Amino acid sequence: MPRKSSGSSPPPTVGVLGLGYMGLASAAAFARRGVQVTGYDVVADRRETVRSGSSPFHEEGLGELVASETASGRLRVVDSIGEVVASSEILFLCLPTPPLPNGRIDLGPIEKGARDLGAAIAHADGFRLVVVKSTVVPGTAERVLAPILRSSAGKGPEELGVASNPEFLAEGTMVADALHPDRIVVGVEDTRSAKLLQALYAVFDSPLVVVTPAGAEMTKYAANSFLAMKISFANEISRFSERVGVDVDDVVRGFGSDPRIGERFLRAGPGFGGSCFSKDVRAFVRSARDQGVRLRLAEQIVGANDDQTLHAATLVRDQLPPGAGATVALLGLSFKEGTDDLRESRALPIAQELARHGVRVRAHDPAALAGFRRWLAAEPASVQSVVTAVDTVEEALRGADAAVLQVPWPEYLAWPSSWTRRMRRPVLVDLRRAFPQARAASQKLRLVRLGDGRTIHAPETPSPQRRPVARSRRGGARRVG
């Protein structure tokens, strides 16, 4: 049962503007904790989907959570911002801040949302607290959004509070992260706003860190940049491990067991993806430069990530037979398991790089296939001519010279022997080191693992479609069997 804020008083009511991945997960988690939540999104189809008790996104457990909380009446979706304001004491802005080519974030969507929200608050009585949950650079809530909100509402700080409350949700585990946050960071500028947020978050059994709005915004960027840096360090160690013939996972266990370091986010792979890390690192670096500060470590992160993705594609190409016309089955297209999100997925540049070298790619994913087809439709003809999205794993593997495990979905790890027989060459390049080595041996697969130098130059397994050739005593070739 949720913990009450004080005595028998119910928690403050909440409005959520923006029902994307983060907004919807946050809204549903508040509702599960006993908070009355009203949600709104500018996309009418999304409103209808959530109102009907479904999730518009593939995210583990989110559909079930939305269904239960809409059925309970604690999560309600309305068709106007005014309705949200009328029923909510605390209003969360969960709007996108997409990247710009210069590294800065585009504040256009959230500025418009603030203007529209302020206009609705103008007609409301009583104090309202607007909380910026979107990821914005330090100083945005106080210096950019607060003036817009108060000007549009015609209200001062005594009637309209503005705070920052960044999210720390990871796609694939959003529901667990939203229901059981390891910490909650709020940035406030006045006592009344601080007490409201403390009352709201008392329903969670999580540490509450109270700082200034700019401090909360800085915390979000520092956390994501540090995590991206850990991943990039592990990826660079994985390339070194390949060269000297060791397994990067053994190395990580060795130095990650140091409690000052820890093993989390040291899992080497083809590079990080998702909607946050690349965008946030670039914005963090650019924001610091705008203030005359060089974040030299952070400046190297995105380039190191791109290097790792190129290395992953090269590793795949190195396993293909010489000459043109090789075929690769690309298994897993989202940026990680548990989600259908393709934003910054490493599958996309890997497919592009393989296509650039004339490799035919058949791509499959159990959740992200529709999104991949939309991405592919916008690619140049040179990519579309050799990259195709297929509906089944069997079709992806038919006549393939290698398979690439880009996302370790459970169905891929189950790998029946019939899949091996569909391939021209039984080679599986595991970019996540998730495929069981014993299963690879039992299914007669040559397993090549990124970051594991012991497997890179292992002997090739004979093709399941070709009988071995032996030499006769007179030097001629003859079939065996």
**Single residue among 186, 211, 236 that ends a domain in this structure:** 211
CA distances 427 to 22, 324, 344, 349, 395, Å, are 38, 18, 26, 21, 16
Answer whether residue 391 is part of any domain: yes
Give strand ranges (E) for 232-366.
327-331, 360-364
Answer whether residue 6 is part of any domain: no
User: 128 forms bridges with which residues in the sheet?
Assistant: 160
**Per-residue pLDDT averaged across 293-301, rounded?**
97
Condensed to tens digits (0 to 9), the pLDDT of residues 101-124 reads: 999 999 999 999 999 999 999 999
Identified catalytic residue from 216, 229, 276, 351: 276
Number of domain units in the chain: 2
Condensed to tens digits (0 to 9), the pLDDT of residues 375-388 reads: 999 999 999 999 99
Answer whether residue 2 is part of any domain: no
d(CA 18, CA 87): 16
Residue 460 is predicted with a pLDDT of 60
Residue 456 is predicted with a pLDDT of 84
The torsion of the CA quartet 281, 282, 283, 288, rounded to 10 degrees, works out to 90
- What radius of gyration, in Å, describes the C-alpha atoms of the chain? 26
Coil, helix or strand for 60?
coil
Answer whether residue 5 is part of any domain: no
Condensed to tens digits (0 to 9), the pLDDT of residues 64-84 reads: 999 999 999 999 999 999 999
CATH of the domain at 185: 3.40.50.720
Based on the domain organization, do 147 and 108 belong to the same domain? Answer: yes
Mean pLDDT of the chain: 93
**Single residue among 158, 186, 211 that ends a domain in this structure:** 211
Assess contact for 227 and 300: CB atoms under 8 A: no
Answer whether residue 3 is part of any domain: no
d(CA 404, CA 427): 9
Based on the domain organization, do 264 and 289 belong to the same domain? Answer: yes
Q: Which residue has the tokens 């041996």?
A: 441
Answer whether residue 444 is part of any domain: yes
Based on the domain organization, do 395 and 381 belong to the same domain? Answer: yes
Residues 6 or more apart in contact with residue 412 via CB below 8 angstroms: 331, 332, 393, 405, 435
Based on the domain organization, do 181 and 125 belong to the same domain? Answer: yes
H helices present in 154-276, as ranges:
174-179, 191-201, 213-244, 248-256
Does residue 479 register a pLDDT over 50?
no
Give the residue from 35, 85, 374, 49 showing the smallest Cα distance to 201.
Answer: 35
**Per-residue pLDDT averaged across 43-51, rounded?**
97
Does residue 18 register a pLDDT over 70?
yes
Based on the domain organization, do 297 and 352 belong to the same domain? Answer: yes
Condensed to tens digits (0 to 9), the pLDDT of residues 22-42 reads: 999 999 999 999 999 999 999
**Single residue among 191, 211, 231 that ends a domain in this structure:** 211
Structure tokens that stand for 83 in this block: 């309705």
Q: What percentage of the chain has pLDDT greater than the value 90?
A: 90
Based on the domain organization, do 111 and 246 belong to the same domain? Answer: no
- Work out whether strand 477-479 and strand 469-471 pair parallel, antiparallel, or are unpaired: antiparallel
Answer whether residue 9 is part of any domain: no
pTM: 0.89
H or E segment to which residue 2 belongs? none
Based on the domain organization, do 27 and 176 belong to the same domain? Answer: yes
DSSP structure string for 402-464: EEEESS--HHHHH--HHHHHH-SS-EEEESSS-S-HHHHHHTT-EEEETTBHHHHTPPPPPPT
Q: What percentage of the chain has pLDDT greater than the value 70?
A: 93
Based on the domain organization, do 430 and 450 belong to the same domain? Answer: yes
d(CA 347, CA 338): 15
Residue 172 is predicted with a pLDDT of 86
User: 363 forms bridges with which residues in the sheet?
Assistant: 330, 389
94 catalytic per annotation: no
Based on the domain organization, do 317 and 263 belong to the same domain? Answer: yes
Q: Which residue has the tokens 């009446």?
A: 73
Condensed to tens digits (0 to 9), the pLDDT of residues 342-378 reads: 999 999 999 999 999 999 999 999 999 999 999 999 9
Q: Place 197 in a pLDDT band, splitting at 50, 70 and 90.
A: very high
Answer whether residue 387 is part of any domain: yes
Condensed to tens digits (0 to 9), the pLDDT of residues 434-467 reads: 999 999 999 999 999 999 999 986 556 555 444 3
Does residue 472 register a pLDDT over 80?
no
Based on the domain organization, do 282 and 408 belong to the same domain? Answer: yes
Domain that holds residue 93: 14-211
Based on the domain organization, do 268 and 322 belong to the same domain? Answer: yes
168-188: buried (b, 16+ CB within 10 Å) or exposed (e) per residue? bbebbbbbebbbebeebbbbb
**Per-residue pLDDT averaged across 317-323, rounded?**
93
Based on the domain organization, do 258 and 172 belong to the same domain? Answer: no
